[in-house]
Amino acid sequence: MKTDYWRRFIYQVHERLIGRPTFAYLSELEKTQWLSRDEIEQLQLEKLTHLLHLAMENCPWHAERIRAAGLDVTGRHPITMDDLRRLPTMNKNDARQNVDKIAWMGVPGGAFKYNTGGSTGQPLIFYYGRMRQASDAAGRMRARQWWGVSAGAPEVYLWGAPAELNKTDRIKSLRDRLINQMVLNAFEMSTRNMAEYLQAIQSFRPVCLYGYASSIALLAAYAREHCKRLNLPSLKVVCTTGEVLYPHQRELVQEVFGVPVANEFGSRDIGFTAHESPNGQMLLMSESLILEVLDGEGHPVRPGGYGEAVVTALCSQSQPFIRYRTGDIIQHLEEACKDGRGLHVLGAVLGRSTDFVIRSDGAIMHALSVIYILRSVEGIAEFKFIQHTVNSVEVLVVPDSKWNPETATKIVQGILKRLGDETRVDVKIVDFIPPENSGKHRYVVSHVPLPPEFDL
């Protein structure tokens, strides 16, 4: 369409004006995805050598660790994966406490302050540069193209946004409109707002709907509950991000919106990491990231096994994240892309360690073990399960029209059957379950740490 072409042109001009090489990197990614796996891994090592060299020159905290590991990052000798593994991992606390010694404020294009949502603890304040921004944007655009969505096509974002817009926010909102994007506030998912959101989406006629998995599922549940018939003939895909997409959410969203759901994996600190392809595979942004899947002792897990996602962000020059422990539990796979790309393939993404529930006997259960119980009980419109201690849990419930006095009893019985009779279950009826500070709606939160051997 001509309109989409001009929107893409405006987007390209905008990126050039602010010095962000988004479309140049997109052009590169469109080619490199078809390299062989060996060629992509060689490209990763070349970028890793460059990143380590920059970190050695500009980031004292990393420089000390690189010297201690005895790595030669001058480029005289190729850096290997074995060399990378000689460096110790870093975590959020390292990044938080040593930001002054890690951030490179003189990075070309400038360093920009940002922070994580802080939904699982203290927010992380960090810096990113133009190349990291370009990597995220170009990676998403390439992934959208897998689904037939081109840059400049109309997209709706169900995303976190402040209630009051400052000057910068107003400029960004204008830019969003110019490049054919509409942003709806995921922080304000009230009944009235959701009705308005559905009307706005239908009027905008998007090709892609993008947002937090829980927020999009909540909007879909509202539409189904209130018999809102959607007319979205242009919609090709719903892309979810920011958290685990559970099977029942995928089914609900596909049923309501009538198109496939493609899940995305990433975080604010690491950035866009992987995206689901039409073949159902989660493909890594391999040209921008090196992913290791490690067990609780820091050793690589075997294919098919689960471990923590430890990421080296190859475009994080402004504040290098090198062997960074994300806290996300994923499955390690060694299969090939079904479409012939050389990109690495991720297995299941289970979520953060706080998404697991610990039973009093030490058994570790995935959040789904609780979600399935609560979803099987009639009378629940929304819920949130909070494990405060091993033997104390709280269930917040927004009731629907089928709620009755026996519903709470069924909830307690189901939880006790799963966690044990010694567990104290407190069911609280509420009118509204607010999202986390990040804007996400987490179904299960555990404040009980994993056992030391699984402390990822």
The answer on 56 and 150 residing in a single domain is yes
CA dihedral defined by 398, 399, 404, 409, rounded to 10 degrees? -30
Give the pLDDT mean for 291-296.
Answer: 92
Give the pLDDT mean for 273-281.
Answer: 96
* Angstrom distance (rounded) from CA 283 to CA 275: 5
In this prediction, residue 283 carries a pLDDT of 97
Q: Which residues are within 8 A (CB) of 199 and not within 5 positions of it... i.e. 6 or more apart?
A: none
Per-residue tokens: 12: 């390209």
* Angstrom distance (rounded) from CA 155 to CA 140: 12
Mean pLDDT of the chain: 86
pLDDT band of 168, cuts 50, 70, 90: very low
Give the pLDDT mean for 108-121.
Answer: 72
Number of domains the chain is built from: 2
- The CATH number that applies at residue 76 is 3.40.50.12780
In this prediction, residue 319 carries a pLDDT of 95
* Angstrom distance (rounded) from CA 194 to CA 197: 5
Answer yes or no: are the C-beta atoms of 282 and 404 closer than 8 Å: no
In this prediction, residue 350 carries a pLDDT of 77
With 50 as the cut, is the pLDDT of residue 392 above it? yes
Give residue for tokens 């060694």. Answer: 334
The answer on 166 and 72 residing in a single domain is yes
**Sign of the CA dihedral running 434, 437, 443, 448:** negative
In this prediction, residue 245 carries a pLDDT of 86
439 Cα distance to chain centroid: 13
pLDDT band of 118, cuts 50, 70, 90: very low
In this prediction, residue 177 carries a pLDDT of 62
Angle (nearest 5°) at CA 184 between 179 and 187: 140
* Angstrom distance (rounded) from CA 75 to CA 300: 26
Domain boundary among 308, 333, 352: 352
The answer on 371 and 247 residing in a single domain is no
The answer on 388 and 300 residing in a single domain is no
Domain boundary among 312, 334, 352: 352
Backbone dihedral angles phi then psi of residue 211, each to the nearest 5 degrees: 175, 180
For 148-209, what is the HEC assignment?
CCCCCCCEEEEECCCCCCCHHHHHHHHHHHHCCEEEEECCCCCHHHHHHHHHHHHHHCCCEE
Give the pLDDT mean for 342-364.
Answer: 79
- Percent over 70 (pLDDT), the chain: 87
In this prediction, residue 77 carries a pLDDT of 83
- The CATH number that applies at residue 426 is 3.30.300.30
The answer on 142 and 44 residing in a single domain is yes
Domain boundary among 321, 352, 383: 352
The answer on 338 and 374 residing in a single domain is no
Range of the domain at 370: 359-454
* Angstrom distance (rounded) from CA 126 to CA 73: 24
Q: Which residues are within 8 A (CB) of 93 and not within 5 positions of it... i.e. 6 or more apart?
A: none
The answer on 420 and 347 residing in a single domain is no
With 70 as the cut, is the pLDDT of residue 62 above it? yes
In this prediction, residue 416 carries a pLDDT of 92
Q: Which residues are within 8 A (CB) of 308 and not within 5 positions of it... i.e. 6 or more apart?
A: 293, 294, 295, 296, 325, 326, 327, 328, 329, 330, 456
* H/E element, 25: helix 22-32
- Percent over 90 (pLDDT), the chain: 55
The answer on 389 and 287 residing in a single domain is no
Residue scoring higher pLDDT (323 or 189): 323
The answer on 381 and 346 residing in a single domain is no
The answer on 128 and 260 residing in a single domain is yes
- Reference 185, options 382, 436, 439; nearest CA is 439
The answer on 328 and 236 residing in a single domain is yes
